Structure 1
Amino acid sequence: MDLTLPQRLYLLSYDIDQNRFDPVSIAYRGQLLCAAALAQLTAAGQLRVHNATAERTTARPPEDPFLADVLADVSPDKPRHFNSAVYLRAAEAEKAVREQLTANGTITVDRGRALGIFPTRTVTLGHPEQVRVLREHTRNAVLAGHDAAAVPFGDAALAAIAAEGDIWTAFTPGERSAHRPMLTAIQERFDTAVPGLRIAIRAAVMATGRGASY
């Protein structure tokens, strides 16, 4: 699947067995999607990070509309701290990513009304087997015992964001605890690539009254 990190994170949050999204991280999913975008933009050289503060570089902007919108919120003249950057597009992030995945056929969205009154939205995966592969790649970054330096950056970033964001469809609290040394190695790699972003994710989670269940 040739998808952006935000798109992959959105799909990772879907519980294939229960046919629903992870209910634990729903309150801050927009911030997590923005964090995934910031990680991808930094890895691509479109953002430069120093002391958890990002500034836009002169690199060519991404073609993906959501990534481009997140990048546009970071001025080349006024760096943006990750603590605020993860919120700038949070309100519309899930809708934007969902519409992209609908447009490319990865998901379908059916709308209805519960009790004839309350609007509902049902998301169905077009290719659940591909999402299972995505999930396993992310989980294997932590659970398979690989050298953290050899794990592809996209998988490492998704694992770090999912663990910090308490996305149970990726890792249960018990798995995070049982594989603490490998998870720490993945987190340290992520911190080196995108310094300060994981702390901003943690702050966004805690602001909703939740904390990672380690």
Structure 2
Amino acid sequence: MPYGSLSLPTRIFLLAWDTGRNKITGAPDLPLAVRACALAELAQRGLVSDVDGIVTPVFGARTGDAVLDGLLELIEESRPRTWRGWITYKARDTRDGVRDQLASKGYLRTERTRVFGIFPSRRYELERAGYVEVLQAEVLAVLRGPVPVSEVPAGDAALVVCAATGKLRGVISGKDRRRYRDRLDALTDRSGSPAPQLPELMRGLRKALASAVSAAEDARAGGGGG
């Protein structure tokens, strides 16, 4: 997927857009999926690792990407947390940072509005619908084949796994998640291909994302929000 400098968290944010309705739909837990993608990219770059289940950063390391570096700094400055802990802790901060980053690069358009005519707010609209439609089609091609998993780039594999596990229903349906369960398992391992220790880490990250999404769904079903 030739997406230049776009990071994994920015790409999964774009995936969630319904280009016909020009808004995000079918992704109630998008902040969790965005944060999981940010962690996946940091792991693939060798900037965070798993030490006895704890997310451990390379102190002082930076990527040059404001969102990824912001997360690295947060991990450095905070108490130790598991993968699920970092998927949920202040996840909306990463989502908001990605949204602003995409707006600054021209993928989104912002419009200043006022709620009830009083409170200032911003509305975001998609500027590059064709780009997103191609991205969505290529994500489905990675999920469904026929390209062998061994030929899928690690970043693309991580993107598809996080989109499926994060339940971005607008691009990957529940039917597809069930039908391609075995391929998703293989893509999870493929997403860890940059280093020998990464496949196990990526399996743990996927499990943590699934657990976080399930807890958020339970909270909404019980009237506790999400």
| TM-score bucket of the superposed structures, by smaller chain | 0.7 to 0.9
User: Are residues 179 and 55 of structure 1, via their aligned partners in 2, closer, same or farther at CA, if it must alter by over 3 Å?
Assistant: same
Give the whole-Å Cα distance in 1 for the aligned partners of 2:78 and 2:17.
38
Match of 1:200 in 2: 208
Cα shift readout 1:81-125 (whole Å, capped 9, x = no counterpart):
101111233132222111111111111022335664687654222
Runs of 5+ in structure 2 lacking a partner?
193-198, 220-226
> How many matched pairs?
209
Deviates more, 1:111-120 or 1:3-12: 111-120
Amino acid at match of 1:8: R
Shift of 1:51: 4.8
Give the whole-Å Cα distance in 2 for the aligned partners of 1:156 and 1:181.
13
Amino acid at match of 1:170: V
Percent identity between matched residues is 28
Q: CA RMSD in A?
A: 2.6
Q: Secondary structure at the residue paired with 2:172?
A: coil
Give the whole-Å Cα distance in 2 for the aligned partners of 1:77 and 1:113.
35
Give the whole-Å Cα distance in 1 for the aligned partners of 2:40 and 2:113.
35
Give the whole-Å Cα distance in 2 for the aligned partners of 1:175 and 1:88.
29
What TM-score results when the alignment is normalised by the length of structure 2?
0.81
User: Are residues 170 and 52 of structure 1, via their aligned partners in 2, closer, same or farther at CA, if it must alter by over 3 Å?
Assistant: farther
Deviates more, 1:174-183 or 1:3-12: 174-183
Give the whole-Å Cα distance in 1 for the aligned partners of 2:173 and 2:123.
24
Runs of 5+ in structure 1 lacking a partner?
none
Shift of 1:189: 3.1
Give the whole-Å Cα distance in 1 for the aligned partners of 2:218 and 2:146.
29
Amino acid at match of 1:21: I
Give the whole-Å Cα distance in 1 for the aligned partners of 2:72 and 2:121.
31
Give the whole-Å Cα distance in 2 for the aligned partners of 1:184 and 1:70.
27
Q: Secondary structure at the residue paired with 1:73?
A: helix
